[in-house]
């Protein structure tokens, strides 16, 4: 059998591992016959039942990835099911799903023999065998449904060619080889069937709370709709609670996916409507349809959110999310994002979310608080920026006024930006010193937003600060991107889930508008082009007329770094706590 040798490990303070087995498989055009030569490894090969997380990689469901996370070993075990193996495949990770500068495990065949190895791609997409083999092949087995490959990868390998697996979003990439190749270097990644999938690989190791015996379930699902034959659809469906439905606590929820549609249902959310309206119209159709009633825009209070690859969401045993009862709308809106790049026709779907709830109320109501930046055009990003940073503050003055003496406990978080967002992080600061990271995503994607349970509960006390920083990329834009609600405008938000619920619903900031006027005056002093500062010209129009040279960019960055901020410390009734303007921490 042909064998693949790997070079010795490079000196490194971190543990590094080498490929310790050789897999050889003989292919025919019709079937795959496997002969696996496995050299003994430290530890045992995980069983199929040991992989709790699962996601389809491609829209057809030909590749299905399952995995588990070992924090003691600081490693991820992968199980990849290949339903129709031809002449090999690529699987790996990259910064944002590119096939250039990617870290890859590659299985390839020359038509006679097969080879497995750890590889990397350069800036031109050419493949190279990695001198340090860190994807460890643990085994392979043939089953009626396809070929299973089991392999292991440490979080950190100290190999500069390897991707560092960390908390937050990971962009997984895959490619399918449909023809034999005589060498790794002969693989042309631009000519193969390929794609990407986003997941949170490093799931938190959380103890599942005991569920009460009187727990009930409610399914909020699409009513057997036909998925539109287009790549992207947001589908809205209105549901309602029974008349007179009393207050309950939601204590967990999980996805309900129609069999066969696992690769099409991208993410789902259930929103509760505003209580000030007595009724909402029934609707079942695309969210962007002109037929959708405007009143549905008042259904924005998130009850549940799921994204592909996520498991069931559990509330801490001390708290539940209240719904039903006085002051609570009985109208709910289900929103499903269908991703159908192969434009399948006639697919019917009844997916949605199953709520688990109880009439035995837990000690605390859970609450949701918005952190970050106010939705305002005074916060803007110049065009052509690769990593422009904006920061929003929940100040010590606000938490001092609004939080109880015993503080609150944050147990989950949902980060949110629009299309230019690339990184989001929220940190807790106390007495001017950073205490801990609440949630961070260094590979954030606006196309993959889910409520994530935190690895550990974060305690926030009166006088603490919560600082949310977003990094944006506007290299593909020719004019400024301002803050706002539009998809081409920007946001910087962290929806934190916490208990006990307080009156504080929004704790955000923006730069003081008076200092922005000074910025536009300064631009006019040093540039030929005039930015009109007259009252009738809007802030977005002023930003659009700025000539974006290096000076104007740097001054705007300095303004956002040092100018006083306008603090929004709002109750759920939209009445503000009296905090006013503040200096930046």
Is the CB of residue 264 less than 8 Å from the CB of residue 347? yes
Q: Could you give the percent of the chain with pLDDT greater than 90?
A: 74
SS3 (DSSP) at 235: strand
d(CA 549, CA 529): 12
pLDDT at 36 exceeding the cut of 70? no
- Helix, strand, coil share (%) of the chain residues, nearest 5: 10, 45, 50
CA distance 26 to 572: 65
- CA-nearest of 307, 305, 57, 301 to 168 is 307
Domains along the sequence of the chain with CATH: 53-199 (2.60.40.1210), 206-362 (2.60.120.310), 364-584 (2.60.120.230)
Give the pLDDT of residue 30: 21
DSSP label of 50:
G
pTM of the model: 0.83
Using the predicted structure, report yes or no on whether residue 574 has a pLDDT greater than 60: no
Query: For strand 114-121 and strand 127-129, is the pairing parallel, antiparallel, or unpaired?
Result: antiparallel
Q: What is the pLDDT of residues 504-525, one digit of tens each?
A: 989 999 999 999 999 999 998 8
Catalytic annotation, pick one of 26, 53, 148, 234 = 234
- Report the range of poorest mean pLDDT among 94-108, 201-215, 387-401, 566-580: 566-580
pLDDT, tens digit, for every residue of 456-496? 999 999 999 999 999 999 999 999 999 998 878 999 999 99
Query: Given 193, 339, 416, 447, which residue is catalytic?
Result: 416
Query: Is the per-residue pLDDT at 1 higher than 50?
Result: no
Strand partners, 69: 76
Q: What are phi and psi of 353, to 5 degrees?
A: -130, 135
Would you say residue 19 has pLDDT above 90? no
Structure-block tokens of residue 56:
């389809």
pLDDT band of residue 342 (cuts 50, 70, 90) is: confident
**Which stretch, 22-31, 110-119, 355-364, has highest mean pLDDT?**
355-364
DSSP structure class, residue 72: T
pLDDT on residue 582 = 56
pLDDT tens readout for residues 123-152 = 999 999 999 999 999 999 999 999 999 999
Is 267 an annotated catalytic residue?
A: no
Strand partners, 117: 106
Average pLDDT of the segment spanning 298-322: 88
447 noted as active-site residue: no
Q: Report pLDDT for 72.
A: 95
Residue 342: strand, helix, or coil: coil
529 pLDDT higher than 80: no
Q: How many CB atoms lie within 10 A of CB 530?
A: 10
Q: Is the pLDDT of residue 32 over 70?
A: no
Looking at residue 570, what is its pLDDT? 85
Q: What are phi and psi of 67, to 5 degrees?
A: -155, 165
What is d(CA 402, CA 95) in angstroms, rounded to the nearest whole number?
A: 39
On average, the pLDDT of the chain sits at 87
Under 8 Å between Cβ of 315 and 250: yes
């Amino acid at each position: 059998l042909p064998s693949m040798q790997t070079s010795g490990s490079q000196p490194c303070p971190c543990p590094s591992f080498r490929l310790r087995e050789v897999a050889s498989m003989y292919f025919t055009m019709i079937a795959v016959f496997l002969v696996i030569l496995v050299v003994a490894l430290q530890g045992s090969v995980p069983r199929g039942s040991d992989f709790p997380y699962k996601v389809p990689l491609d829209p057809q469901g030909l590749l299905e990835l399952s995995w588990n996370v070992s924090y003691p070993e600081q490693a991820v075990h992968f199980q990849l099911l290949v339903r129709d193996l031809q002449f090999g495949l690529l699987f790996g990770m990259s910064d944002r799903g590119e096939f250039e500068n990617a870290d890859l495990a590659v299985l390839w065949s020359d038509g006679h023999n097969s080879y497995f190895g750890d590889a990397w791609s350069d800036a031109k997409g050419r493949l190279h065998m990695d001198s340090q083999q860190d994807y460890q092949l643990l085994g392979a087995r043939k089953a009626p449904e396809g070929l299973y490959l089991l392999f292991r990868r440490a979080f950190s390998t100290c190999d500069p060619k390897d991707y560092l697996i960390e908390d937050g979003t990971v962009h997984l990439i895959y490619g399918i080889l449909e023809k034999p190749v005589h060498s790794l270097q002969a693989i042309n990644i631009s000519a193969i069937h390929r794609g990407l999938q986003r997941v949170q690989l490093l799931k938190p190791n959380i103890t599942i709370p005991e569920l009460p015996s009187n727990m009930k379930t409610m399914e909020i699902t699409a009513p057997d709709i036909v998925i539109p034959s287009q790549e992207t659809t947001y589908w809205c469906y209105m549901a309602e609670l029974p008349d007179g439905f009393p207050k309950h606590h939601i204590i967990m929820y999980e996805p309900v996916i129609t069999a066969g549609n696992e690769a099409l249902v991208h993410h789902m959310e259930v929103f509760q409507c505003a209580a000030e309206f007595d009724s909402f119209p029934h609707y079942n159709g695309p969210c962007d349809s002109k037929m959708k009633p405007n009143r549905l825009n008042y259904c924005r209070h998130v009850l549940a959110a799921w994204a592909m690859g996520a498991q069931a969401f559990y509330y801490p045993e001390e708290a539940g999310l209240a719904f039903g009862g006085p002051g609570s709308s009985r109208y709910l809106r289900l929103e499903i994002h269908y991703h159908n790049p192969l434009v399948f026709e006639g697919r019917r779907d009844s997916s949605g979310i199953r709520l688990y709830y109880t009439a035995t109320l837990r000690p605390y109501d859970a609450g949701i608080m918005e952190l970050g930046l106010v939705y305002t055009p005074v916060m803007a990003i110049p065009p052509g920026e690769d990593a422009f940073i904006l920061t929003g503050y929940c100040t010590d003055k606000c938490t001092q006024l609004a939080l109880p003496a015993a503080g609150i406990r944050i147990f989950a978080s949902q980060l949110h930006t629009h299309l230019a967002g690339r990184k989001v992080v929220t940190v807790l600061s106390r007495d001017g010193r950073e205490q801990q990271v609440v949630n961070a995503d260094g590979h954030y994607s606006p196309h993959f937003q889910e409520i994530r349970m935190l690895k550990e509960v974060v305690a926030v006390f009166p006088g603490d600060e919560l600082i949310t920083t977003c990094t944006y990329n506007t290299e593909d834009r020719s004019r400024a991107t301002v803050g706002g609600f539009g998809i081409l405008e920007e946001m910087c938000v962290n929806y934190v889930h916490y208990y006990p619920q307080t009156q504080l619903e929004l704790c955000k900031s923006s730069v003081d508008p008076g200092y922005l006027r000074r910025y536009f005056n300064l631009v006019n002093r040093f540039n030929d082009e005039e930015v009109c500062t007259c009252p009738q010209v809007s802030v977005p129009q002023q930003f659009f007329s700025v000539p974006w040279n290096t000076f104007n960019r740097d001054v705007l960055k300095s303004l956002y770094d040092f100018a006083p901020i306008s603090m929004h410390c709002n109750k759920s009734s939209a009445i503000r706590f009296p905090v006013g303007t503040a200096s930046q921490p």
